[in-house]
Amino acid sequence: MPRIYLSPPDISLDDRAAIEKALDSGWVAPVGPQIDAFEAALSNRLNRKHALAVHSGTSALHLALLAMGVSKGDIIVCPSLTFAGCAFPIRYCGAEPVFIDSETETWNMDPNYLEDALKTLIKEGRKPKAVIVVQIYGQCAQMDRLLGICNEYEVPVIEDAAESLGASYRGSEAGSFGTVSFLSFNGNKIITTSGGGMLLTNDAEIEAKARYLAHQAREPVLHYEHNAIGYNYRISNLLAGLGLSQLNALDNKISKRKSHYIAYKEVLEGMGGIEFMPIAKEGIPNYWLTIFQIVGSDVNSKRDALIQTCSNASIEIRPTWKPLHLQSVFKSTRYFGGEVSETLYNGGLCLPSGSCLSLKERDEVIDIVQTALSKWS
């Protein structure tokens, strides 16, 4: 039986033709017309003046931090419930992450704990260099409150929209917030370039510095001259061609993922005491992944048993992100919060949600999960 994956890449005939077009252009390199067009398309969609296509969301964040002057000893605040790629670039710069717990309405960074952290750190004489706000699982955070707090304490915001392209908050799309924002086009994201990312900003100096560093910090002379350490971070023109084609189908991909969410929720909600991730009234998600939380007793054993049951049926389901403050690599890192992110991890599970998931496959997932949950009731 073919395995049903969580969020596989959805590649169309149009996508294949786009790659052929990029090949035919002769630009088989990290420069070319497809890159220019991809950057222009996303900057226009997200109302940003500048866009820089790179080979991952992590590299986009690394460049953002460097371009904003982050260096050894600086503090960067970010949520605990997120992918480790949000925190690793902080360490690349020699800076120190400080983690913040989640709130229960969107599962994103809790504004109250953020304000507590900023007050405390500033009082200690360690004002953060930036706050990274993550839009987790395709849903925007409480942006009005978070941006307001950061503005009050004069700390710039970097928006991690890696999982949320196409989502919106009060009419503004994810990727349009903060001094800098970035996207991911990894193979499991809502659109993919296989591997890829995008840095977006309205600040010309930040974009110029990031672009310079992404091109190995090469000086504008004929030979290879370097006055700084640079990085080989630019995306391939071939992959940008794929991304441009995928972007044209974004709204359709969101619609398909939303239909999976609705189908899962209609059948499974309430069974076995599970609760689906809430949708905040201020925003519209992109439904990247459908997630539910197991509540009540024996949460961990139930979660692990359901994962195994689905695995036996060749269905991939996964736990939510393990909070970074619980990871051994960050065991000595400061944390402001309670137990919300830990609770969401202990009982949270992600269901197959890809835009190429067939109705037959979705019904198979529902049948297996429904049978397992019925035994908990």
Give per-residue pLDDT as tens, 297-356: 889 899 999 999 999 999 999 999 999 999 999 999 999 999 999 999 999 999 999 999
Residue 3 forms part of a structural domain: no
Task: Choose one of 231, 248, 265: the last residue of a domain.
Answer: 248
Tell whether 79 and 45 lie within a shared domain: yes
Q: Within this chain, do residues 212 and 295 fall inside the same structural domain, yes or no? A: no
CA distances from 11 to 16, 242, 252, 309, 373 (A): 7, 9, 13, 29, 33
Same domain, 244 and 282: no
Beta bridge partners of 319: 349
Q: Is residue 290 part of a domain?
A: yes
Same domain, 230 and 284: no
CATH (domain of 294):
3.90.1150.10
In a domain, 74, yes or no: yes
Which pTM does this prediction carry?
0.96
Q: What is the pLDDT of residues 9-53, one digit of tens each?
A: 999 999 999 999 999 999 998 999 999 999 999 999 999 999 999
Count the domains in the chain. 2
Please report whether residue 199 resides in a domain.
yes
Do 240 and 255 share a domain, yes or no? no
Strands 283-284 and 168-169, sheet pairing: antiparallel
159 and 291 in a single domain? The answer is no
Dihedrals phi, psi of 213, to nearest 5 degrees: -70, -35
Q: Which of 89, 97, 93, 174 is nearest to 131 (CA)?
A: 97
Domain containing residue 358: 250-374
Tens of pLDDT along 128-175? Answer: 999 999 999 999 999 999 999 999 999 999 999 999 999 999 999 999
Tell me which of 248, 280, 299 is where a domain ends: 248
Written as one string, the DSSP assignment of 116-171 is HHHHHHHHTT---SEEEEE-GGG----HHHHHHHHHHTT--EEEE-TT-TT-EETT
> What angle do helix axes 33-45 and 237-248 make, rounded to 10 degrees?
40
In a domain, 2, yes or no: no
Which of 230, 248, 266 represents a domain boundary (last residue)?
A: 248
**271 and 199 within one domain:** no
Query: Could you tell me if 26 and 154 lie in one domain?
Result: yes
